[in-house]
């Protein structure tokens, strides 16, 4: 069964800490995405990656960075965690050319609380 | 940022009843419309990917229609069951979005026995 795995389901971090959220997919997908989801708002795109070592800012990249050194892994980095980054973070992937019949494949999310 | 609006925000349905809800999106530069079901503590799961005006898709008791000219899609659940309880997300892709989806805030459906 193909999957996208996020390393932690729940995470509590302190303000100012550097936080790493890891996402691994086993489907050889080129594109990977990081979204955050907050109550009353849609999923908002933080960063995405077309392929290995390629990255592009999404709609809300401030305070975040990403790393994609290998095709299967896409890491989201909170450089200095702040309380307004408390949120549900979702990773997703897709294979180029499959989007007509297939949607994104999502991980199950990481609920991050910054205290 | 393109606006994708979903309504209602939430709805409660009695088991066995049918229901429907709406996704509105900008009609220009349309490429694809996705529907996802997101159950609590699980990953969002793709239900439908729709690309053509007039498209109708069906999966079991759930179906969806698409009107790209006026910019809306309906999702229908026939004979709702408790396992249909979830948040239903729609997401919109334009011809120049390079595969990125713009999501609505979702419609939360609660089916009570």
Q: Higher confidence at residue A99 or residue B53?
A: B53
Q: Is any Cβ of chain A less than 8 angstroms from the Cβ of B59? A: no
pLDDT of residue A47: 97
pLDDT of residue A100: 57
N-to-C CA span, chain B: 39
Mean pLDDT across A28-42: 92
Answer whether residue B1 shows pLDDT above 60: no
Q: Tens digit of pLDDT for each residue in B73-111? A: 999 999 999 999 999 999 999 888 878 899 999 999 999
Q: Higher confidence at residue A97 or residue B20?
A: B20
- Mark B34-53 as b/e (b = at least 16 C-beta within 10 Å): bbbbbeeeebbebbbbbbee
Q: How far off is chain A from B105, nearest CA to CA, in Å?
A: 4
Mean pLDDT across B14-37: 94
Scanning B16-55 for CB atoms below 8 A from A yields: 32, 34, 36, 41-47, 49, 51
pLDDT of residue B72: 96
pLDDT of residue A40: 85
pLDDT of residue A41: 87
For the beta carbon of residue B21, count every other beta carbon within 10 angstroms.
21
Pick the residue of B99, B104, B106, B107 with the most A CBs within 10 A to test the interface with A by mutation: B99
Q: Higher confidence at residue A36 or residue B95?
A: A36
Q: Is any Cβ of chain B less than 8 angstroms from the Cβ of A61? A: no
Mean pLDDT across B23-45: 93
Q: Note whether B99 contacts A40, CB cutoff 8 Å.
A: no
Q: Tens digit of pLDDT for each residue in A57-108? A: 999 999 999 999 999 999 999 999 999 999 999 999 998 766 556 789 999 9
pLDDT of residue B89: 97
Q: Note whether B100 contacts A33, CB cutoff 8 Å.
A: yes
Dist CA B18 CA A53 (whole Å): 47
Q: Note whether B43 contacts A101, CB cutoff 8 Å.
A: no
For chain B, give the number of residues.
113
> What DSSP line would sit under B7-42, residue for residue?
E-SEEEEETT--EEEEEE---TTEEEEEEEEE-TTS
* pLDDT tier at B3, thresholds 50, 70, 90: confident
Find the residue in B nearest to A104 (Cα): B46
Residue A43's region, left for phi above 0, alpha for psi from -120 to 50, else beta, is beta
Mean pLDDT across B52-65: 95
Answer whether residue A1 shows pLDDT above 70: no
Q: Tens digit of pLDDT for each residue in A20-29? A: 999 999 988 9
Of A32, A115, A76, A101, nearest in space to B47 by CA: A101
Of A48, A88, A4, nearest in space to B93 by CA: A48
Q: Is any Cβ of chain A less than 8 angstroms from the Cβ of B106? A: yes
């Amino acid at each position: 069964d193909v999957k996208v795995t996020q390393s932690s389901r729940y995470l509590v971090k302190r303000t100012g800490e550097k936080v790493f959220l890891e996402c691994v997919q086993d489907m050889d997908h080129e594109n990977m995405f990081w979204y955050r989801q907050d109550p009353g708002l849609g999923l908002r795109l933080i960063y995405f990656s077309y392929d290995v070592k390629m990255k592009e800012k999404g709609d809300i990249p401030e305070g975040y960075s990403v790393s994609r050194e290998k095709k299967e892994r896409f890491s989201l980095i909170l450089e200095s965690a702040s309380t307004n980054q408390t949120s549900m973070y979702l990773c997703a992937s897709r294979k180029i050319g499959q989007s007509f019949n297939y949607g994104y494949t999502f991980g199950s999310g990481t609920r991050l609380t910054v205290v | 940022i393109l606006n994708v609006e979903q309504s209602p925000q939430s709805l409660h349905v009695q088991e066995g009843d049918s229901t429907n809800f709406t996704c509105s999106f900008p009609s220009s530069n349309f490429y694809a419309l996705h529907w996802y079901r997101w159950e609590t503590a699980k990953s969002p799961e793709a239900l439908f990917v729709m690309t053509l005006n007039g498209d109708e898709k069906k999966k079991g008791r759930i179906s969806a229609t698409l009107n790209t000219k006026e910019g809306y899609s309906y999702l229908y659940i026939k004979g709702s069951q408790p396992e249909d309880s979830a948040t239903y997300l729609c997401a919109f892709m334009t011809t120049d979005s390079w595969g990125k989806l713009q999501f609505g805030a979702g419609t939360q459906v609660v089916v009570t026995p």
